[in-house]
Amino acid sequence: MENLNAIEVLESPTDLAYLINKISGENINTCIQCYSCASVCPFFEFMGNAPHHLIRMIQYGLRDEVLRSPAIWICVGCHTCSSQCPAAIDLVEVMDTLRHLALKEKDNIPEYDVVNFHEQLVNSISRHGRTHKLEIMLGYKLKSGGWFDDMDVGLQMFKKRKLDILPHNIKDLSEIKKMFSEAAE
Amino acid sequence: MPQNNLSSFTKFSYFPGCSMITTAKESGQALEASCEKLGIILEEIPDWNCCGSSSTHMLKRGLSLEIAARNLALASPDRPIVVMCPSCLHNLKRTSHQLKKDRALHEKIEDSLQKKVYLDHKIVHLLEVLAQWDIKKIQSILEKPLKDIKIAPYYGCMLASPNVMLHEHGYPLSIETTLKALGASIVLWPDIRGCCGTFLSVTKPDVSSKAVQRIIYNAKNSGAQCIVTACAMCQLNLEIRAPKEDKIPVFHYIELLAFALGAPEWKNWLKYHLIDPSPILEKAE
């Protein structure tokens, strides 16, 4: 990795590409803009910025635009792009890093519903050690406000006993709670 | 102990993941029934916790590794871990990889958990175990051939891996090989590795519906009677986001395996499906 510093910006500690490299180990500057990631991405048409585009923006140092892009929240982390990339960049690690930076630095995250969903799910793990889908859905709706959107799907799932009323708690919950409290520090 | 030859194991650690005990309990039961028929012993990892799902690594990277690592610590070090959910599989494998690369982090997590975190487990989807089995052995206990059932195999996107793990793929064609040996016909179609939208099904149903609509259109166009997935989440999304006028039954492949091997409880499992697949199996009964 060290001898592949393709363009100068990698040297600058304030640069986004440098930061991503430091946090995730992925070297954005090896991207050859071949478009493989965008051509296999299942959702690139909804992202606002296609994946290779986002990488170019990082290379150009457009930090603000990148961290405000809806693309980083539409990406579902499926790794289809990572499995195709000829430069062996794991784009999901890059996206994760961008997501963390955006949460740290930015207000008014675009696609806030996605963040809301992830927060509900993570909270559910912190409470039970496992996910409790009904609680996640109720928590999500409470915050997003769309109580009646998708009501039919919810009822169908309930009827088919896919949404358990009670959570499945693990026995040693204190271990999970400790991880969460340490992570918060 | 080297764990590369999966066919030499009869006992595996089992990581069910949250789906197999909730939204996809029927697949969890089909798995139990199949393994009993195949003589595979699955020992559930005691007090396992959620792998962290996509959400944890998307919001909190360090925490996601620690959450997944607890499961690696609880699993017996001397046998492979079978995981049924592609997303859990990825999270556990990724954690093992990352901790192997980062010794300091490995030690830090061990300290914090006060447990030894083993990193030498082979972590596999059941598909990989079956891919290494002698197919004749499965055929020899076949009770109900899946004859005349035309299936569209659907691996979904989560079984794709980043480059560093690509060489570990052990399941190409595993659904096709197993189900063909059990009598099913396999159709050729373009969406074998499609994506159902995962959590976008909740947060952006329109986006997910559009993806599912294309997948179903292609499956039907290829002449398939049903889609067979390796992932419980794909199965659910393909059912709940199917266009009202254009549905197709969706099985988890483990349900078809259990049915073909003669598990008697299959009718019970089909009750949990949102799109009734029973006409297909009643014909094969």
- Is A11 in the B-facing interface, judged by CB distances under 8 Å? no
- Beta carbons of B255 and B278 less than 8 angstroms apart: no
- Is B5 in the A-facing interface, judged by CB distances under 8 Å? no
Domain check: are A150 and A90 in the same one?
no
Residue with tokens 């620690």: B66
**Does pLDDT of B99 surpass 70?**
yes
Q: pLDDT tens, B221-242?
A: 999 999 999 999 999 999 999 9
Residue in A30, A27, A29, A49 with CA at minimum distance from that of residue A38: A49
Q: What is the pLDDT of residue A2?
A: 47
- pLDDT band for position A13 (50/70/90)? low
Contact between B112 and A178 using a beta-carbon 8 Å cutoff: yes
Domain check: are A50 and A127 in the same one?
no
* Interface TM-score (ipTM) > 0.85: yes
Residue at which a domain ends, from A82, A105, A128? A105
Residues 68-87 of A with CB under 8 A from B: 74, 76-80, 82-83, 85
Domain check: are A99 and A117 in the same one?
no
- Is B243 in the A-facing interface, judged by CB distances under 8 Å? no
Helices (H) and strands (E) in chain A, counts: 11, 0
Task: List the domain range (segments joined by +) for residue A167.
Answer: 112-184
Contact between A42 and B158 using a beta-carbon 8 Å cutoff: no
Domain check: are A79 and A131 in the same one?
no
**Does pLDDT of A1 surpass 50?**
no
Contact between A140 and B202 using a beta-carbon 8 Å cutoff: yes
Q: What is the mean pLDDT of chain B?
A: 93
Looking at chain B, the whole-number percentage of residues with pLDDT higher than 70 is 96
Q: pLDDT tens, A80-129?
A: 999 889 999 999 999 999 999 999 998 889 999 999 999 999 999 999 99
Q: Could you tell me the CATH number of the domain that includes residue A30?
A: 1.10.1060.10
* Count of structural domains, chain A: 2
Q: pLDDT tens, B170-211?
A: 677 889 999 999 999 999 999 998 899 999 999 999 999 999
Q: What is the pLDDT of residue A149?
A: 84
**Does pLDDT of A5 surpass 50?**
no
- Is B62 in the A-facing interface, judged by CB distances under 8 Å? yes
CA angle B234, B238, B243 (to 5 degrees): 160
Domain check: are A34 and A99 in the same one?
yes
Residue at which a domain ends, from A47, A76, A105? A105
Domain check: are A120 and A31 in the same one?
no
Residue at which a domain ends, from A105, A128, A158? A105
**Does pLDDT of B249 surpass 90?**
yes
Contact between B197 and A170 using a beta-carbon 8 Å cutoff: no
- Is B169 in the A-facing interface, judged by CB distances under 8 Å? no
Domain check: are A9 and A98 in the same one?
yes
Q: What is the 3-state secondary structure (H, E, C) of B122-190?
A: CEEEHHHHHHCCCHHHHHCCCCCCCCCCEEEEECCCCCCCCHHHHHHCCCCCHHHHHHHHCCCEECCCC
Q: pLDDT tens, B49-87?
A: 999 999 999 999 889 999 999 999 999 999 999 999 999
Ranges A53-57, A97-101, A159-163, B247-251: which has the least confidence: A159-163
Nearest chain B residue (CA) to A47:
B207
- pLDDT band for position A148 (50/70/90)? confident
Q: For residues B97-118, give the mean pLDDT.
A: 95
- Write down all domains in chain B, each with its CATH number in brackets: 9-126 (1.20.1050.140), 144-284 (3.40.50.11810)
Domain check: are A26 and A91 in the same one?
yes
